[in-house]
Structure 1
Amino acid sequence: MLLSFRFANHRSFRDEQQLNLMPVYGDGIEASEAAPQAVPIVGVFGANASGKSNSLGALKFMREMVVGSDRAVEPGEGLSREAFRLDPEAVPQPSRYVVDLLLGGTRHTYGFAIDDERVLEEWLYHYPVGRRRRVFERDGDEFTWGEESGRRNDLGQIAGITAPTALFLSTVARFGHSRPRPDPKNPQPLHDAYRWFYLASSQADGISGLSVLLDGGGGDSEQIRHLVIDLLQAADVGIVDLVVRPDHSDRATSRRRLPNGYTFVRRRIGPHAASVPPRIQFAHQGPHGAALLDLDDQSTGTRQLLALGLHAAEVLRTGAAMLVDEIDASLHPILTAKLISLFRSPKANPLGSQLIFTSHDAALLGTLDAEEILHRDEIWFVEKDGEGTSCLYPFTDFKPRKEGENRQRRYLNGNYGAVPDLSTHLFEQALATRGGPDDAAAE
């Protein structure tokens, strides 16, 4: 579980920023120990080009470094980072990334600093009895071990083969032993920290992998099939069933009746059809029964719903974090709100998965069925100043209005910032239809 994320010198963010997921009540007082130790949902709102995607991108970059830095960079080629480029003095400065995690009931702090050439610093601490204990600290190529990790001879050997451009956490994971989840009785800080990054998911790739999942056979594929059907039926997109069938034909588009009563609509798919995965068909209810249509025939919204739904199902099953940029893209606000609510439900989210997303849909700041879609401590804003520097700040910085507040309206009115400062005159002038050469000659 993510408790907080700090980062500095990443794209439009020059100074250190913190995304704090600790629960906070509306009056600014932190929640008691009995309350959840981290909020399950965080929504980051801001204008176009304000930096909201960059804030999520910083966490994605940290994950990519942890999961793949030991094999992603060739020796001598340096690191591919994206520092703040609008200030020449900031470009050579290190970029820093730090997370506080709750793993197996124990807090962990992991972070690193990099420049264009190598990993400058890296560290991991944990707090098994409320006091900080060092797992390891790295300063360039020099490592310092904690009391427990210092007893492991293999860590020193792995540190010796860790490339300057690779993280030690990434390298040591190749020699670790997997286990399903952190065990409080047998803590393994290195493995548990790596596992959190490995499971954190930022790609809604359920669509591309759907045919593979459904072709696997057995109970899992049938369970996924029912999940897809239930998801689409709940969304009321007109789909009543899903059919998976091998398709090795390259015949032109044709229509024929299947034994189950569906109409099969086939399209030409080329001479190499024998090598393609099974075809997924969606049964749409029509005036003369159900007709099967390809995935390519589905609307952008349906495809987005499928991708996010399958993505969320996998994250909720593993207790991981789900990172989504522009969660509202192509989705109706009600569907987006329902997807968000899954992470608040103890029944749907028993393992404490988290959803971190960006959006500029003000409707998500409102209510649905008389319930807040997002709580006050789940809302963050990003705004860019006159120097092109982005700043991340929480909604809890603003005191709630005693007579109640319409968050959606107040946000659009600019009361919380993080909205575009448009000049109506210049906007109209830029888009106005201008006369052609003939008109200019006639003047």
Structure 2
Amino acid sequence: MRKLKCNDCPNIITKKYDGQSKKMLQAQMLKTPKSYKLKYSNSANDNIVRIIISNDYDSNKGLLLCYKFNRYSELISPFILKFPKIDIVGLLDKIILELSESERKRVFNIKEEVPVITDTQILYENKKTFYVVTAYLFGFYSFIFKNYTNDVFIPTYSYTFDLSHISNAEKRDETDNTKIIKPESKLSFSIDKNWIPYTHLTYNGTPGTAGANVIVTIPQSIKTGQLYIYNAASTNVAINYILWGYNLENFTVLLDSIKESILPICKNIPSGLEYQKIPDETINTLSTVYQIICMTRSSLLLVNNTYGVVLYFDDIKIRRGLGFNNIVKYGLYSGDYYIYVPPEYELTFFNKSDSNFIFSGDNTKKSTDTIDGVVYDFYYGTIKIVITGSFQPISIYTKSYGYLNCKDIMIYSETCSFILPDEKPYLIPYI
């Protein structure tokens, strides 16, 4: 019988040779004449025989776990016919039937396969939903992401772009249905600015109808650092990609190699605007240095379309721009402020119910809308802001186009205390 090895069963099988050590047996064999064979009994083998013919459940189960099914079958095969009255096979069947899952894998050498997870098997969590509208600029319609705030795409997440707004739909002439006034807009993304759509896009519904969206999935295996915005329904391939997104050329993908958060890119200051001379003051926010420009007590909200819709403020009395770009915050101090807003850009302030920042307007120029589950009042025309103390940064949000780069744009600043209240505010009726 070949030598058996089992390191897992010390309580079942002993490996002494008639009480003698291996060295003693070797010494005896050297002294014994070659014509005479030294006989000894291997108690390990004897124990195996005794276990098998004993038909003891626990001992045989231990032996089966030790030597696994194939070797155990070899061990019991000589005794099946030799001891017909002992139901050796029946005992084996019973033991196998009652094995636990882990014991069964051990006995039959079943190795657990590690599943290979592919990108298509991953259920991607939706990181954010962007609300998409289109606006007419330079002779074609481009996309505005209403709640975009310098977001980046993160691998292993998906992002939903809601296309249900009517501005994404095709518009035909009411008197001539064959005449298309506005073509359908189909938001898409490209890796190389080549009009070839990114492969991980899932479209649902028809743009401009309820439930329409496109889901962008960012797999872990993505290699590109940007996804460029364009309109897949357009045939005008000559349009610069930066115009498709109203100055937002692409969404940045935060690859594994990027360890630090990406800072927003500053936009160009429109030509012809002058800065008001103010005390030098800056604030640091997430490693970005912002310049504080003090709001005048009466200002006009203007729109610059040079590189896409961007909001800024103009001193209404001296008609001088207060200035803007992505590193500007508008400072307000205690007192009353008046802002004049064009109807197309009716807006609200995300003041987080802060009692130190109260705004109101003409009820005839008021509407309401729900943003992220909260109902807000939107105004155009003359909006009055009353500041009574320090407040957290305030965002401006337009009803039609969203933030337009005005996330956390207004801050409380004691440096702006030199801006005196208007005794006679310059009020204009804005229809």
Which structure has greater strand proportion?
2
Look at both structures and tell me which one has the larger radius of gyration over its CA atoms.
Answer: 2
Instruction: Report which structure shows greater RCO (CA 8 Å, sep ≥6).
Output: 1
- Please confirm whether the aligned pair reaches a TM-score higher than 0.5, indicating the same fold: no
Q: TM-score, normalised by structure 2?
A: 0.27
Q: TM-score, normalised by structure 1?
A: 0.26
Which structure has greater helix proportion?
1
